[in-house]
Structure formats: C-alpha cells, structure tokens
C-alpha cells in the first residue's frame, strides 16, 4: 500500500492516509506480533524538510493520547481494573534523539541497567543472555554497540527504560537511522551517506511506527535499488510515477493494536484484539 500512496501523491494528492487490515506471512511468535492487524498509514508531501511530516505524526499521536485521556476515563478504568498500568508520559513536541545519540545512551547507561537485571533475574537462560550482552569481548557486547549497528528488540526495550529514567518520558522519536538498515526507497542523508532521513516512533521502549523520507528521483531510486540488490522490474510503474516531476514526500506505518497494547501497558498484543491471529491461531 505504501507504494500506491506514494504514486497518489504524484497525482497531486498532497496527503494520503489509509486505515485497512494488514496480513503478514511471518513466523513471529512474540508478544507484539500478529499475522493480521489494522494498519494506519500515511504519506505526505512537504515543502522544506521531512520533519514537517514527522511533526504531523507527532501531533497525531499526541491528539490520540489526549483524546483517550480526556474522553475515555471510564473505559481506561475498566482496563486498569484487570491490568493495572501507569499512565503514559508524553508531551508535544516529544523527545527526539538522533540514532547515534541513542546508541551512545545505550553504551553509557545500558551495562549498568543490565547488571541490575542480572542481580534480580532468577531464570538461568535469561541470566546467560544478560551475561552475553555484558561481555565486553563478546559479539553481543552492549558496550561495543556501534553507532551504525542495527538496534534489536532487546536494545529497544533497554533504551526505553533508560529514556524513561533520564527524561521521564514513555513516548519519543529516534531520527536519522543508518542507511544500511533501511529499505532501498529511503532517502539518504544529504550530508553524510552513513545516515538516512528515516525515523521510528516508540512507546514504552517498543517501536510503533517506522517511516522515512522516500526517494522521489527516479534515477536515484534505480541506483539505490541496484546497490541493495533489489529488482524493480515487477514494480516499474512505481518508478515511472516519479518521471514527470515529483514532490519530496515522507510517511510512516502504524500498527493500531500495538499502539493500544503499549498505551494501556498490556503484556501481550493479543489482549488488544477481539480475534487475534498469529501463526498458530486462525479460529475463532
């Protein structure tokens, strides 16, 4: 759907959004993945900087949070009675970190947080995993996490704890992800090719939105795809849509059930869906 929304922008639709079911064929048996969920996606042109789009996403999230807190206290109390949770701490504009700043926080504060977890953890497998991440000479060493290295789920959660402790915020944005870990259609940073004009939005240390400025120059798009080994022949109409003049644009995708889970502090995404679907559940 993202590619079609981008093509719609090239037909003079300045802002396009979509609310639709998303089906993902992936064997992800985790607390935060489902094979069917509701996607809230948007693409939007901008005039000067892709942060115009990031600001729109930020304002939208805060408007949703404000609306829930102001108009749905009865429903929130009903959830809290079964699953007690701490109110989400957020502000507008929200806390923003560059990716390299976030990695520096992980390296600086992360080992001490892991050491605390090691002292309190009783499960031996979990303790062994923590030791791996604390081993300064090991491949999983948190202290040696490079600025341009991808951030895994464990890193995301640990960073969320650090941000909450240092800044008192549960909702924040990480900007300028490494170009190497983003798709071919992501716009590189114009001043440093190691980075890209891309971002993720986090709630309680878990990603709820991934987005970026998209490459809108057809030749650059072809070059980026070739560099990453992507064959564009099946979607060449997508490339063609940018050949007659294209506005710079950006967007992002949001998973509704994951936002609900994290806003309410639920332990599992399946509690945010009436009929959750995963690799082992199709009925009811």
Query: Which residues are catalytically annotated?
Result: 24, 26, 32-33, 207, 210, 258
Sign of CA dihedral 240, 227, 191, 52: positive
Query: Is residue 184 within 8 Å of residue 224, measured between CB atoms?
Result: yes
Q: Which among 189, 241, 183, 237 is positioned nearest to 211, based on CA atoms?
A: 183
Q: Exposed, middle or buried: residue 230 (CB in 10 Å: 0-12, 13-18, 19+)?
A: middle
Measured CA to CA, the distance from residue 124 to residue 128 in angstroms comes to: 6
User: Radius of gyration (Cα) for the chain, nearest Å?
Assistant: 20
Tokens representing residue 121 in the block: 């953890």
């Amino acid at each position: 759907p993202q590619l079609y929304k981008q093509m719609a922008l090239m037909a003079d639709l300045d802002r396009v959004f979509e609310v639709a079911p998303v089906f993902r064929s992936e064997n992800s048996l985790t607390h935060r993945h489902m094979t069917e969920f509701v996607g809230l996606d948007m693409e939007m042109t901008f005039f000067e900087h892709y942060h115009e789009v990031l600001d729109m996403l930020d304002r939208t999230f805060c408007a949703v949070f404000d609306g829930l807190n102001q108009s749905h206290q009865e429903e929130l109390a009903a959830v809290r009675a079964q699953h007690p949770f701490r109110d989400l701490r957020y502000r507008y504009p929200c806390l923003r970190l560059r990716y390299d700043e976030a990695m520096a926080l992980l390296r600086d504060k992360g080992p001490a947080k892991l050491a605390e977890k090691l002292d309190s953890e009783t499960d031996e497998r979990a303790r062994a995993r923590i030791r791996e991440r604390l081993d300064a000479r090991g491949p999983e060493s948190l202290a040696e996490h490079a600025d341009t290295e991808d951030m895994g789920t464990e890193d995301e959660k640990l960073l969320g704890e650090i941000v909450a402790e240092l800044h008192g915020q549960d909702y924040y944005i990480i900007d300028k992800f490494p170009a190497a870990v983003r798709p071919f259609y992501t716009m590189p940073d114009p001043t440093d090719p190691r980075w890209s004009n891309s971002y993720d939005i986090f709630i309680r240390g878990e990603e709820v939105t991934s987005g970026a400025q998209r490459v809108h120059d057809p030749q650059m798009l072809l070059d980026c795809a070739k560099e990453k080994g992507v064959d564009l022949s099946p979607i060449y109409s997508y490339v063609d849509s940018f050949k007659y003049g294209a506005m710079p644009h950006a967007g992002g995708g949001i998973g509704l059930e994951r936002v609900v889970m994290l806003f309410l502090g639920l332990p599992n995404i399946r509690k945010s869906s009436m009929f959750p679907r995963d690799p082992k559940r199709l009925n009811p």
